Amino acid sequence: MKLSAIIIFSLAVVLFVIGVHQTILYGVGNSYWIFMFSFGLLLLYQMRKQKEDDPAKKAMPRKKVKKQPSKR
């Protein structure tokens, strides 16, 4: 995992914890934006993770499937 991915995930977790704390103190309405930033960073993390995994899948050779003769 790259350092940038670790930083993005860490920020998402920290913002979520801060959002929970602010929700306890001030309510959901005042901490909603913190949760949105947290979930946005989680989505960014997932997108980057999927992009890293795609080239690995393409590099694997595919098995050729033989067609069976049709019965008529």
- pLDDT higher than 70, residue 55: no
- pLDDT higher than 70, residue 66: yes
Please tell me the pTM assigned to this model: 0.70
Structure confidence at residue 59 (pLDDT): 63
Task: Work out whether the CA dihedral 10, 14, 19, 24 comes out positive or negative.
Answer: positive
Q: What is the pLDDT of residues 37-53, one digit of tens each?
A: 999 999 999 999 998 88
- pLDDT higher than 80, residue 61: no
Residue holding tokens 């309405």?
Answer: 29
Spans of all domains in the chain: 3-53
Q: Over the chain, what is the mean pLDDT? A: 88
Q: What is the CB neighbour count within 10 angstroms for residue 19?
A: 20
